[in-house]
């Protein structure tokens, strides 16, 4: 579905943001991209939409070379909610914001209305339908950008720091939405520092530092690799730390962190 082939990218100030990145992401995967600020995470996902073109190497999305494909064509397949929603919101009302892309993609008027209503209800924004996006809180703006993207049903959904400004209830709803997307065959890429949000979903984790990939694998494997996490300045999930502490006891009650989590959840009922 998405493939990076030895991709490098240099910003105008001379900083190399991507350095020989090779990565393949398949259909219906949940992939979390983690790393410190400046690791190259956002630069990486901007290449998927064609907003940035590689200096060297190739980026291929669903068989299409992003150098030879317009950003408009790629956006039908790939929806991105960037970290700062103010960079994406421009319409006079929430309703117009939600319907803009749908109309541009040629959806019938009745389907536009259906998708708008669905998105506003899903993300709890019905009361703001006629309001300007400017009156929304930061968290509500994040939810609006996500609603706009899901409304046109792209094959790939990329979320850059989606939990910023969201309370615990909204985080749970977001996690449920992500699971729904992958169960329906969508690919979801999460760029996030929120390790506690990522861990329960057990995604494939890509760890970045200095424009390079330090590690790539299942969350239970990488989240226990302190060498990689410390090098990338990524914290371990609390449950992983808890499980490691328990394994150091003379009697070891749990085989792995997931078993510890199940035990904690059962004990708290």
How much of the chain exceeds pLDDT 70, in percent? 93
Decide: 75 and 66 in contact? Cβ < 8 Å: no
Q: How far apart are CA 60 and CA 47, in angstroms?
A: 9
Q: How far apart are CA 132 and CA 122, in angstroms?
A: 19
Domains observed in the chain: 2-236 (3.40.50.300), 237-269 (no CATH)
- Better pLDDT: 43 or 240: 43
Residue 46: which residues within 8 A CB-CB, separation 6 or more? 52
Q: Quickly tell me which residue has 């996030």 as its tokens.
A: 192
pTM of the model: 0.87
Strand 64-65 relative to strand 56-61: parallel, antiparallel, unpaired? antiparallel
Where are the strands (E) in the chain, listed by range? 2-10, 16-25, 30-34, 56-61, 64-65, 78-81, 156-160, 187-191, 204-209, 212-218
Residues 1-19: what's their mean pLDDT? 93
Residue-wise pLDDT for 137-183, tens only, equals: 988 998 999 999 999 989 999 999 999 888 898 899 899 989 989 99
Decide: 236 and 226 in contact? Cβ < 8 Å: yes
């Amino acid at each position: 579905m998405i493939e990076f082939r030895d991709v490098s990218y240099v910003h105008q100030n001379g900083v190399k943001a991507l350095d020989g990145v090779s990565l393949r992401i398949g259909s219906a995967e949940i992939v979390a991209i983690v790393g410190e600020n400046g690791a190259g995470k956002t630069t990486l996902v901007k290449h998927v939409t064609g907003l940035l073109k590689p200096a060297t190497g190739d980026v291929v999305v669903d068989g299409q070379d992003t150098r030879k494909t317009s950003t408009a064509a790629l956006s039908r397949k790939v929806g991105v909610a960037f970290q700062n929603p103010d960079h994406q919101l421009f319409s006079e009302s929430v309703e117009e914001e939600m319907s803009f892309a749908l109309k541009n993609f040629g959806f019938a008027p009745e389907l536009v209305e259906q998708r708008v209503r669905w998105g506003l209800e899903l993300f709890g924004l019905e009361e703001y339908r006629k309001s300007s996006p400017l009156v929304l809180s930061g968290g509500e703006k994040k939810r609006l950008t996500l609603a706009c993207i899901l409304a046109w049903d792209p094959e790939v959904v990329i979320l850059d720091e989606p939990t910023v400004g969201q309370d615990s209830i909204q985080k749970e709803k977001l996690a449920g939405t992500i699971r729904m997307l992958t169960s329906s065959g969508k690919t979801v890429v999460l760029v996030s520092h929120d390790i506690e949000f990522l861990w329960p979903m057990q995604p494939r984790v890509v760890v970045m530092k200095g424009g390079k990939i330090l590690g790539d694998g299942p969350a239970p494997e990488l989240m226990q690799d302190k060498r990689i996490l410390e090098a990338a300045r990524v914290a371990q999930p609390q449950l992983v730390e808890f499980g490691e502490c328990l394994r150091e006891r003379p009697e070891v009650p749990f085989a792995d962190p997931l078993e510890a989590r199940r035990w904690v959840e059962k004990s708290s009922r």
